[in-house]
Every structure is written in C-alpha cells, then in structure tokens.
Chains A and B, each alone.
Chain A
Amino acid sequence: KAGVTQTPRYLIKTRGQQVTLSCSPISGHRSVSWYQQTPGQGLQFLFEYFSETQRNKGNFPGRFSGRQFSNSRSEMNVSTLELGDSALYLCASSFFPDTQYFGPGTRLTVL
C-alpha cells in the first residue's frame, strides 16, 4: 500500500505570495492532518480534516487554510507569505481513530 504523498517536495516563494500544498493520504484513510515543523517551534498542529470537514484547528493565523476533497486528498494554502512561514509542512493520514502516518513533507522557503 502506498504511503502518504506530498507535492511539491520543495518550494521557494517570495514574501507576499501565496502557496498551495497538496497531500494524498494512504488509500482508505479519511482523516488528514497538517503540521508545521520549524527548528524553533518544533512540530505544531495546523488543522485536521475528516470527510471534507475541518474538525480541529491549531493556533495559526487565518492566512493558513485548507480543504479536503471527496477522495480524501487535501490541500493547504498559505496566503501573503511571511519569512517566518519557512518550514517543513507535513501531512499525516489515519484511519480514524488510529495511528497517524506522515508523508515526507514539503519544504517551503520564503525569501
């Protein structure tokens, strides 16, 4: 069974731009969660989707948003990028309520 896939793997953007990251969960998994990983703050929860509905949201500004499609694939969007948004963005999927399995992440660099 294929694992969680994330695209793109690397992104370079400039301040003020917006970005969309994509996540395809493990087949059969309906829950998708997003995390931000930085050296200073570690792994922080962004939001979680289940059956196209956002069930939980972390403490991030409204510039961070997401959605989930009927096939459980998910996207997250960051608008008006700031330098501090540079991070590894990780997607995890699970067959709720069960273990979350992570993808390789998207490395976003904001210049």
Chain B
Amino acid sequence: GESVGLHLPTLSVQEGDNSIINCAYSNSASDYFIWYKQESGKGPQFIIDIRSNMDKRQGQRVTVLLNKTVKHLSLQIAATQPGDSAVYFCAEMPQGGSEKLVFGKGTKLTVNP
C-alpha cells in the first residue's frame, strides 16, 4: 500500500552545521511532495514543496532534493539554528486530483547550542 517512510527517527546536530533529513516514498505515481515542520503543541508548518518534474528546489536556508529513480526525498537545512528543532515530516500526494497527503512518520531534529 501507500507509505512514506523516513530513514532516521532522530537527528542531532550542532548549531551552525548543515542538516540532512531523508525520506523514502513508495508510490511512483506521486507527483507532489512537501516537507512540514511540527513544533511541540502546534500543527505542521509548510517548509518547502517540489513537484515530480523537478529534481531540486531551494528556499530560504532549505533545499529539497527529489530522486525519482530511487524514490528518495531529502531536506537540507543550512546553518541549522536552535529554532529549527522540531519534528520534520515528508508527505506525498498521489496523482488523481485528490488532496490526500500520505505522511512519513517523522524525524525529530535536535539542534545543540
């Protein structure tokens, strides 16, 4: 069935380092991918998205890479800050006009000062 998974449940980095969070998806028909950040007690916050016709997309301090050959998605955070500490989810949206998002289980990022 559909599933989106993450390679690591936790990631700990030093402030100022770059962070890489990985995600594997299983539905090759998905054409839209999103990264969300969720802080404790809050709803998921949109970070960046990418469509299947792209390999890379950059935002402010964040970059998403999509490798459709191996069905792999990654989120790179440059110069990680303590405020980046949160749980990060990747989500995929299969084709078909539905707004249904399939989420991975999340990676908890801890930034040490």
A interface residues with partner B (beta carbon < 8 Å): 4, 31, 33, 35, 42-45, 48, 50, 55-56, 58, 90, 92, 94, 96-97, 99-105
Contact = CB atoms under 8 A, between A and B. Distances in A.
A50 B104 CA distance: 25
A92 B99 CA distance: 10
Contacts of A99: 34, 46, 49
Contacts of B113: none
Contacts of A102: 36, 43-46
Contacts of B98: 48, 55-56
Given A42-B106, A43-B89, A31 B44 contact: no
Contacts of A90: 43-44
A7 to B, nearest CB: 13
A45 B97 contact: no
A14 B43 CA distance: 25
Contacts of B97: 55, 97
A43 to B, nearest CB: 4
B97 to A, nearest CB: 7
